[in-house]
A and B are shown apart, each in its own frame.
Chain A
Amino acid sequence: MPPQIKRLALLFVLLIGLFLTLKYFLTPKSFGEFGHYRGLALEENKVKVPEYSGQKACNECHDDVMALKVANEHATLSCETCHGAGRVHISSVDSVVISPKVPNSREFCGICHAKNFARKAENIKQIDMKAHNAGELCTKCHNPHSPWQEKK
């Protein structure tokens, strides 16, 4: 074997060795645990605290509102659909209760109930926002938890 080939072979072995050493130290320990990715990433993806607490969490304190809601048109709605994420409200201490948002603008109701050809009539009751008591708040006549209950 010519000497220059021997030197070249040695160089190759050294470079490959260097690469493997670096790879050993730089690859995270959990890489390849489940597949071609860092196994710990699965746990890290689970860490985040949920903002929306779920219907069950609301029921624990507000079972009276819940009972009214499920008996009426808005039965399928989760409390958090309109009131927003519940984490801050639920984790607030008794002395300083941080209320969830109470949206009562016409525009907010209109997000679902404004007349739109794309909405099926059997799915949702719709009104012409311009013709139906223009300028008035929906909550003046309708109770959001029981839309057809008469308000005095």
Chain B
Amino acid sequence: MAREEVKSRRDFLSRAAMVAGGLFISAGSTPFASLLYATERKSKTGPWYGMGIDLDRCIGCGRCADACKTENNVPRDPFFFRTWVEQYTILNDGSIHVESPNGGIDGFTQKFPDTDIFKAFFVPKMCNHCVKSPCTQVCPVGATFESPEGLSLVDPTYCLGCRYCVQACPYGCRYIHPETHVVDKCTMCYHRITKGLLPACVEVCPQEAKIFGDLNDPKSELVKFMKDHSWQVLKPHMNTEPKVYYNQLRAEVR
């Protein structure tokens, strides 16, 4: 049947040209491009916030996780966190052990003898405030959004508690609040930074391992940090463009 429809080489070529032309035009117009980006960097003048984390300096005291819970009324149960610290231990046999007892708030203990350890370090985790944030894209009602400053925020009065965003986040940075039954997450302490204060986790870090700043301001601490260190982001293959930049991030970290 199909063989009979194409009558000649001329027919075939003209149809192929039509298909190719159609594809070309649709690729150029890209009507859905806006859906790929949760937000666009609207201006180069306003603030565009990010966070730098220097793993070389982190001592795993967990003060960031503790302060975050106090500042943002996060439940004290050991499975609700806006930010937490993980301890990575890589043994000489190549096995990788990751632990985060109560997010690091009660301190860490060394589980293996020094002689067995190849490398050990701490990794503080938090919302990456991605430019192409999957959580914002999946929200069916527009309750989670990217603020003009590039921060992923939640509108708790609009959230249905459907949990799509909790599943969509590749970094596990969202949880359903047990009292309000809506989603809760790191806001980069939006209520603090808009009053000129530092985020609570940055304020209390004894090692100055967390650097908060404006990516649009060439003089900010964060831009300075990014110039001086060979930073990397978590899960770059997810194409989410995170804005949390880690210095000395090892390939073992997931």
A residues at B contact (CB < 8 Å): 28, 31, 34-38, 41-42, 44-55, 74, 76-78, 80-81, 84-85, 107, 110-112, 114-120, 123-124
Given known A35-B39, A54-B197, contact A118–B153 (CB-CB < 8 A): no
Q: Is the CB of A123 within 8 A of B207?
A: yes
List the 6 shortest-distance A-B pairs measured between CB atoms, nearest first: A37-B145, A41-B155, A118-B120, A111-B107, A48-B191, A36-B142
Q: Is the CB of A42 within 8 A of B59?
A: no
Contacts A46-B191, A123-B207 aside, 4 further interface pairs with beta carbons under 8 A come to A46-B195, A81-B63, A118-B122, A119-B60
Q: Is the CB of B204 within 8 A of A80?
A: yes
How many of chain B's residues have a CB under 8 angstroms from any CB in A? 53
Q: Is the CB of B107 within 8 A of A110?
A: yes
- What residue in chain B is nearest A116 (Cβ atoms)? B110
Q: Is the CB of A41 within 8 A of B117?
A: no
Partner of A45, one of B62, B146, B187: B187
Distance from A138 Cβ to chain B, minimum over Cβ atoms (Å): 14
Chain A interface, >50% SS class: loop
In the complex, 29 of the A-B residue pairs with CB atoms within 8 angstroms, ordered by the A residue number, are: A28-B158, A35-B146, A37-B144, A37-B155, A38-B157, A41-B157, A45-B153, A46-B194, A50-B195, A51-B70, A51-B200, A52-B192, A76-B206, A78-B204, A80-B203, A80-B204, A81-B204, A81-B205, A115-B110, A116-B60, A116-B108, A117-B89, A118-B60, A118-B88, A118-B89, A118-B108, A118-B110, A118-B120, A123-B59
Q: Is the CB of A44 within 8 A of B155?
A: yes
B residues at A contact (CB < 8 Å): 39, 56-57, 59-63, 67, 70-72, 87-89, 106-110, 112, 114, 117, 120-122, 142-148, 153, 155, 157-158, 187, 189-192, 194-195, 197-198, 200, 203-208
A120, B122: Cα distance in complex, Å: 10
Given known A76-B207, A78-B204, contact A41–B153 (CB-CB < 8 A): yes
A115, B88: Cα distance in complex, Å: 16
Q: Is the CB of B147 within 8 A of A42?
A: yes
A132, B24: Cα distance in complex, Å: 73
- What residue in chain A is nearest B112 (Cβ atoms)? A117
Q: Is the CB of B107 within 8 A of A107?
A: yes
What residues on B are CB-neighbors of A36 within 8 Å? 142, 145
What residues on A are CB-neighbors of B198 within 8 Å? 54
- What residue in chain B is nearest A36 (Cβ atoms)? B142
- What residue in chain A is nearest B72 (Cβ atoms)? A48
Q: Is the CB of B206 within 8 A of A112?
A: yes
